[in-house]
Structure 1
C-alpha cells in the first residue's frame, strides 16, 4: 500500500533467526524497541539492503525486495544515521552536508540546505572541521547529510546511544523539530524507553527475532499483555493540547475532553504536547478525596488487573478519554486486597505527577 512501509523477513543471519511480518505508517517516527539481540538493527540493515535475507520490503509503492528482485543499497532512496557520526574528516561541515546533497537528482530536491542547517541549529558550524565539533554537533551534521540526500525514508540506528546525558539532552529538541517540520518517515532503533516515549508515534516491539507488538505508541505500551507493563519505569504517553497557562506556572491540558494540570513554563494556548503518566505515580481511591495535595484526581473505571509478581499488581484504568489506551496504576497486592478492587469498578485515579514527554 502507498501509505505503508511493509517488512516481511524470515531467515538466518549466522546463529540468529529473524521472523517478522509488519506494516508501519509512511509518516512520523516508528521506534523499533527491544532488548539487545532482538533483531532491531538486523531489520534496519535489511531495509537498507545491507543484509540480504528472504522476504519482502516495500516503501509505499516502491518494492525494494521480493522473491523476484532485490534493489541494491545505492538505488534505495534512504538516508542512514549510525550510532557514531561517520563524517569525512578531510571535509568541512558544509562539504559533508553538500556531499549528501549531490547524491540527489535535481527533481528530487524538496529538502533545502538552508532549511536543514537552521532546523538542526548548525548554521554557525558550516565552516568548521568535524574534528572541532562536539559529539552532539557531529550527530546533527550526520543527520543533515542524510536528509540532504533527499531520502524517501530515514533510518536511524541508536543515534543517541554514543552521547552522554548532556549531549543527548542538547540534541533531543532537534529530533522533535525534525518530527514537527519534515514529512520523511523515520525508522528509529533504540533501547531507551525514554527516547520512545518522547519521540515515537508508532512502536514495534521485538523479542528474540520475533514481533511482540506493533501499533500506535500508547496502544502498544498499555496493551493488556505488553511486556513493557511489568517494567518498573512503565508510563502511559498521551497526546494533549494546552488550554491555558496560569501565572503560577501550572498549565491546563486537554486530553480528548479530560483536563490535566502540569507544572510547566512558557507554554502557549493551543500548543500540542504529549504527557507521560508513570504507573508508579498513580494511586487509587474508592471515593473522591476531601483534601489532597495532588492536582489531578480523575474519575476512572478499572478495565483490567494484571499480576506483576507476588507483591505488586498493575491496574488498567479508563479515565474517560476517547483513546484506545488506558493509563495504569502500580500498587501492592496488599492494597488491591484491602480495597477489594475488581474489574468494572468505578474509582478515582490520583495522579501524583504528570510530566511532559515532548512538545510539538
Structure 2
C-alpha cells in the first residue's frame, strides 16, 4: 500500500512544499523541529486543508484540491498516535482499547487479544491510565489506534515525551508491530536513533521541503545529507548475519568486509540484523593494523570524499554491497592520500557499536 503526498501550504512566513512517496513499511518523516513534519501528517489525517495538493493511498484519493476532493478525517481510516497518549482517564485499559474497536468498519480488524499480546498489555487491562507509566500509556494508545482497523497508522513523535528508559521500553513493541502486522506507518521523529532502528523509508525534511526520500540505509549513509541529519549523528546502517555465539561471550557477525564481534547479541545463528555505525566511530588505515586491541577491522574501498566547511571530512566507504561512513580530519585525509577507489581498512569501535545497537532489530 503506497501513500503519495504532494502538498503546498503557507503559514505566515513559513511555506510547506513537500512531495514524496511512502511505500509499505515504516516511513519516517525526519527533520529538525519546525521543518513541517507534523503539518504533513495532519494533512494526511485530514486535519489540515492545504492551499493546494493531492494525497492518495493506493487507489483511493484522499485529497485533490484541483478536483475539490477533501475526504473528512473519519472517512480516511487513519489511526493517529500523538506525543501524549490522550487516553480516557475514567476508562480502564481494556475499555480504552475497545473504544478504538467501535470505529472499525463492521467491527473488523486486528484481533484484540493479539494486539494485547504484541504490546504486552495483559497485566494492565483492569488498570486506569492514571496508574500507568508514560511508556505503558503510549502502548495503550497505539493499541487503541490499531484496533480502529486503520489503513495507515500515523505516529507524531510518539516517544518525544518519554525519558530514555521509557523509550527503550517501548521501541521493541513498535518493532514487533511493524514486523508482525505489516501495517503501513507514517512516523514523525527528530531522533536519528529511532529512525535508524524503525524506518524502512526515510523522508528528510528541512524548512518545509523534502531534501531526500528513499530507503533508510541509502538516505542515512548519504554524506551530502550529513549537515541536515546532524554531523554527530552521521553514520550508516550495516546489514550483518550472526554466525555464532562464542565461548567468551562475544557474538560473531559476518559481513562482506570480514567478521565483526559484538558482546552478547540476543539472537540465534543465521539471524540477520541491522547495525547503526556512527561515522565518528570508524577509523581508517591504508594498511591492516597490527598490535591493536580493536577486534573489528573490515576491508573497504573509498567510494566518495565529502570535505566539510570546517577541519573535518566524511569518507564514504564501500564494503561489498554495503556502505560505511568515516568522519576524519582533512589533515588525515591528506596524510593517508585517500582517493576514490583506494583500498583501506575500517576499524570499528566494538563498545560504540554495542551501545548504539542495544536491542536493535532483526531484519526480515
Q: TM bucket by the smaller chain?
A: over 0.9
Residue 292 of structure 1 is matched in structure 2 by 292
Moved more, 230-239 or 253-262: 253-262
In the alignment, the residues of structure 1 paired with residue 86 and residue 278 of structure 2 have an alpha-carbon distance, to the nearest angstrom, of 36
In the alignment, the residues of structure 1 paired with residue 284 and residue 256 of structure 2 have an alpha-carbon distance, to the nearest angstrom, of 22
In the alignment, the residues of structure 2 paired with residue 347 and residue 6 of structure 1 have an alpha-carbon distance, to the nearest angstrom, of 41
CA displacement 1:266-318 (0-9 Å, x = unmatched): 32112232111111111111111133221121221111111123321111111
C-alpha RMSD of the superposition = 1.6
Residue 5 of structure 2 is matched in structure 1 by 7
1:210 aligns to 2:209 (yes or no): yes
Count of residue correspondences? 353
Structure 2: which 5+ runs fail to align? none
Moved more, 218-227 or 16-25: 218-227
Deviation at 1:241, TM superposition (A): 2.5
In the alignment, the residues of structure 1 paired with residue 228 and residue 13 of structure 2 have an alpha-carbon distance, to the nearest angstrom, of 27
CA displacement 1:25-84 (0-9 Å, x = unmatched): 1x2211101111110000000000000011111111111111221110000111000000
Matched residue SS, 1:170: helix
The match for 2:327 among 325, 330, 339 is: 330
Matched residue SS, 1:329: strand
Greater fraction helix: 2
Residue 18 of structure 1 is matched in structure 2 by 16
In the alignment, the residues of structure 2 paired with residue 15 and residue 311 of structure 1 have an alpha-carbon distance, to the nearest angstrom, of 35
Residue 61 of structure 1 is matched in structure 2 by 59
Matched residue SS, 1:348: strand
Residue 243 of structure 2 is matched in structure 1 by 243
Assess if the C-alpha contact under 8 Å between 2:258 and 2:297 holds in 1: no
In the alignment, the residues of structure 2 paired with residue 10 and residue 348 of structure 1 have an alpha-carbon distance, to the nearest angstrom, of 46
Residue 359 of structure 1 is matched in structure 2 by 361
Moved more, 65-74 or 250-259: 250-259
Residue 117 of structure 1 is matched in structure 2 by 116
> TM-score scaled by structure 2?
0.93
Residues 1:319 and 1:286: Cα distance change in structure 2 (over 3 Å): same
In the alignment, the residues of structure 1 paired with residue 28 and residue 222 of structure 2 have an alpha-carbon distance, to the nearest angstrom, of 17
In the alignment, the residues of structure 1 paired with residue 269 and residue 204 of structure 2 have an alpha-carbon distance, to the nearest angstrom, of 34
1:339 aligns to 2:343 (yes or no): no
Deviation at 1:104, TM superposition (A): 0.8
Residue 254 of structure 2 is matched in structure 1 by 254
> TM-score scaled by structure 1?
0.94
Structure 1: which 5+ runs fail to align? none
Residues 1:7 and 1:256: Cα distance change in structure 2 (over 3 Å): farther
Deviation at 1:167, TM superposition (A): 1.3
Residue 191 of structure 1 is matched in structure 2 by 190
1:103 aligns to 2:106 (yes or no): no
In the alignment, the residues of structure 1 paired with residue 178 and residue 328 of structure 2 have an alpha-carbon distance, to the nearest angstrom, of 35
Assess if the C-alpha contact under 8 Å between 1:7 and 1:58 holds in 2: yes
Assess if the C-alpha contact under 8 Å between 2:256 and 2:319 holds in 1: no
Residues 1:236 and 1:205: Cα distance change in structure 2 (over 3 Å): same
